[in-house]
Structure 1
Amino acid sequence: MSESSNQEQQNETLATRIANRNLALHEQGLLRKRTNLVLDPSQSNYFEVDALPYVNFSSNDYLGLSTSNVLIDALHQGAKDYGVGSTASPLVVGYTEAHIKLEKALCDVTGHEAALLFCSGFSANTALMKTLFEPNDLVVADKFIHASVIDGIQDSGAKLKRFSHNDIDSAKSCFERFKPSALVTESVFSMDGDIAPLAEMSALCQQHGAWFIVDDAHGFGVIGEDGFGATRLTDDIKIDAQLVTFGKALGGQGAAILGSRELVDFLVANARHYIYSTALSPASAVAAFTALTVIEQQPELREKLKENISYFREQCESKNIELTDSLTAIQPIILGDSAKTMAVAQRLKEHGFWLGAIRPPTVPQGSARLRLTLNANHCQQDISALVNVLADILNND
């Protein structure tokens, strides 16, 4: 067979594989698709899809800063001062005063020595794991750790062992059995909304001479003193490497790895994600810096978020809607069956409410759920209306 025929056969095999995989996911109801939203920044928590209006209960914009005029103006001014993009890798000409200023501010609010900026939390987590660990390392992580952490550890060649979710005794057992190089957890878990026992895990790592790594993506901006994340929860939490993102409570885009100066220097010299990627835009860095200032100066945003969380839970209790123990903005309603979850989500859309419908493999089998997220800009009228409709749907199912 000629070389061209071999190439044609290979391409045909790849095309067939793609088609078969798409068909299988479609038949299982698991084929993911994008939704084209029509947004109006002046109408926070509202958007349109196919000319139909919806109330948004599915974003991670916990403080409502993505539509803040202060941040919009900061992004605009950042673009005027630095241009739209960074134009190059940070190691070429993509590292500006805007990046340096943001890194310093992040260190000031978390207590770390140094910071390194990335364009997304996924790339930051993957870069950290892939660069830090080697095949002779063993890492223990929470069973529900984010996919970016799993991918990075797998890319590094290190062995990964997972302990039962938020179970400190299970983590201790892993340390006794495996003597790991590090423990990895999230602060606030993205699908369950619960908070890890960070102080106990930090003590465990210090006792065994292992690194403590925390993905603080859903905590930074809303938990801890002044809202500044995992290191600010209690004085006895020592974190060796901490990921924070700007696309959730900070309302913008980008992420950072925080740790010692030695760690950051090591990543700058070795992390391929950082070396070979165009840097975060300076304008995005300016917006993130401004968000830190807003969070520090406007504690009422976090208070309003807490009020909305409490109000939602009270309304659900009054309607006998079963919730988890989460006290954060992430409020999962576990329905178990994937088809039922999709059906309930569709019924809610018919009433104008948009919630995330989360199914395996994102969550474990049998734990499909509505992932409802609250933010500081939600009003009690919308929350009450959602709960009333949800109660009717569940009671009449």
Structure 2
Amino acid sequence: MLGYEQRLNERKDSSLFRSRKVRSSDAHWQLDFSTNDYLGLSQHPDIKRAFKQAIDTWGVGSTGSPLLSGYSKVHQELEELLAEWMNKPRALLFNSGFAANHGVLTTLVDKQQKLFADKLVHASIIDGMQHGEGRFKRFPHNQPEPLIGKASPGDWLVTEGVFSMDGDVCDLNHLAYLKQRYGLKIMLDDAHGIAAYGAEGKGSLVADSAVADVITGTFGKALGVGGAFVCADDDEIESLIQFCRDYIYSTAMPPAQAAAIKASVEIVRSAEGDDRRGRLAERIQYFREQLKQRGLKTIESNSAIQTWLFNSDEDALNMATELQAQGYLCSVIRPPTVPAGSSRIRFSLTSEMSKPELAQFWSRVDRILSQL
């Protein structure tokens, strides 16, 4: 039996077997807690209009890789906008956050450099480190010392702004201190922070973008579209253009997609974006209060990602099944995605969830808990 066949059979016989859920355009849920559309922009009429208008001009595809025929004026304008927004010299577009993180770590880190990464970084960062030339070690979550004491100038510290599974954040001030003390280069993946937090939606680095030498982010979460970007200095971006296989050998994102992203960024930076972030913050505070009032086990987080931890995989699955039967789309996150013993229901909140809807959800939770 081939290795993958044995692994597949073992997975089928376990409680960890994954299945895809098919979305329908007419599907209706009371609330969708599995979405990453934190600001509700995926259905914004101005963004959809920008997408449609660009299709009429450019068609539905880019028709080539970015170094051949796939790089358009729309892509260039979006990169310039992103660089200005993130206060970095240049930006580069990728088709996914996975490709962006993988590409940075396999291109910009050489065998003389060491990488120190948070234990909870995304799988794309782990794969990038494994496939790259640099030696890497992972430190306990948000506790880089004393491991970082082994760093040399030019080594890399890799972390996330808002952590994707726990929803907590990195310590930006501590990163700045470590960067200065050890001469580190810092890569920060802000996939879950960009657009959702900070003035103009600048994300985790709103206070000081210079802390991170390389910023990666996605358009598929709070910006409501798809694709990703890297912001960095000129030499780093030019090196990615020249040497990054994830960039060179991929068809560029469609110009229409880039136009929709540009429209989304403009909304995020406007008064409307401020309003949506304000509503999101209110929903987060309310949800946190409800978790604490019921004494439910959770992880401290002021982000849109909230967690309900369970003592066993079975308990988490049973609760999620009950909630889905009540019309609430929520997902159980289990090992190996999260550490053993930390199975949870992961709730993603959005600015468009109303307080009455959330109050009704907690009423349903109380009813389920009273029957257990």
Specify the TM-score bucket, using the shorter chain as the normaliser. Answer: over 0.9
Q: Report the equivalent of 1:294.
A: 267
CA distance in structure 2 between the aligned counterparts of 1:278 and 1:336, rounded to whole angstroms: 45
Are 2:271 and 1:285 equivalent residues in the alignment?
Answer: no
Out of 167, 182, 187, which is 1:208 matched to? Answer: 182
1:225 pairs with one of 199, 221, 227 = 199
> What are the Cα deviations for residues 197-220 of structure 1, in whole angstroms up to 9, with x where unaligned?
022112212221110100010000
Distance 2:139 2:74 in 1: 40
Distance in 1 (CA, whole Å) between partners of 2:119 and 2:78 is 32
> In the alignment, is the contact (CA less than 8 A) between 2:102 and 2:125 conserved in 1?
yes
The residue number in structure 2 matching 1:262 is: 235
**Candidates 325, 337, 343, aligned match of 1:362:** 337
Q: Is the 8 A contact 1:182 1:205 kept in 2?
A: no
Kept after mapping to 1: 8 A contact 2:297/2:310: no
Query: Does 2:364 correspond to 1:392?
Result: no
**Helix, strand or coil: the match of 1:243?**
strand
User: What letter corresponds to residue 79 of structure 1 in structure 2?
Assistant: I
Please state whether the residue corresponding to 1:258 is helix, strand or coil. strand
- Kept in 1, the 8 Å contact 2:334–2:344? The answer is yes
- CA distance in 1 between counterparts of 2:338 and 2:132 reads 24
Deviation at 1:395, TM superposition (A): 4.7
Matching of residue 328 in structure 1 with residue 314 in structure 2: no
What TM-score comes out, normalization by structure 1 length? 0.89
Structure 1 residues 284-303: Cα deviation after superposition (integer angstroms, max 9, x where no partner): 11111111111111110101
Post-superposition shift, 1:106? Answer: 0.6
- Deviation digits for residues 228-281 of structure 1, max 9, x if unmatched? 12331x237521000011000000011001000110001100001111100011
The gaps in structure 2 that reach 5 residues or longer are none
CA contact (8 A) 1:199 1:237 kept: no
Aligned pairs, number: 369
Query: What is the aligned partner in structure 1 of residue 107 from structure 2?
Result: 131
By relative contact order (CA 8 Å, sep 6+), the higher-ranking structure is 2
Secondary structure at the counterpart of residue 73 of structure 1? helix
Deviation at 1:80, TM superposition (A): 1.3
Which one-letter code corresponds to 1:214 in the other structure? L
Q: TM-score, normalised by structure 2?
A: 0.95
Counterpart position of 1:191? 165
Q: CA deviation at 1:390?
A: 2.3
For the pair 1:21 / 2:10, whether they are aligned, the reply is no
Q: What is the CA-CA distance between 1:178 and the residue it aligns to? A: 4.2
Q: Unaligned regions of 5+ residues in structure 1, if any?
A: 1-12, 41-46
2:328 maps to 1:353: yes
- Map 1:54-203 onto structure 2 (within 5 A): 54-167=30-143, 171-179=144-152, 181-203=155-177
Q: 1:55 to 1:143 in 2, by over 3 A?
A: same
Q: Describe the SS at the equivalent of 2:146.
A: helix
* 2:294 is the counterpart of 1:315: no
Indicate the RMSD between aligned Cα atoms, in angstroms.
Answer: 1.6
| Secondary structure in structure 2 of the residue aligned to 1:38 | coil
Secondary structure of the residue aligned to 1:222 is coil
Q: Is the 8 A contact 1:191 1:371 kept in 2?
A: yes
Q: Which residue does 1:3 correspond to in 2?
A: none
Deviations 1:334-393 (A, max 9, x none): 113112111111111111111121000000000000000100111112211222222333
Residues 316 and 387, structure 1, Cα contact 8 Å, conserved in 2: no
**What do residues 120-167 of structure 1 show as CA deviations (whole Å, max 9, x unaligned)?**
000110011111123332100111001000101100132221111112
Contact between 2:310 and 2:343, CA under 8 Å: does it hold in 1?
yes
Alpha carbons of structure 1 residues 231 and 215: separation in structure 2 relative to 1, 3 Å: same
Q: What is the alpha-carbon distance in structure 2 between the residues aligned to residue 137 and residue 237 of structure 1?
A: 21
Give the 5 Å matches for 1:23-42.
23-40=9-26
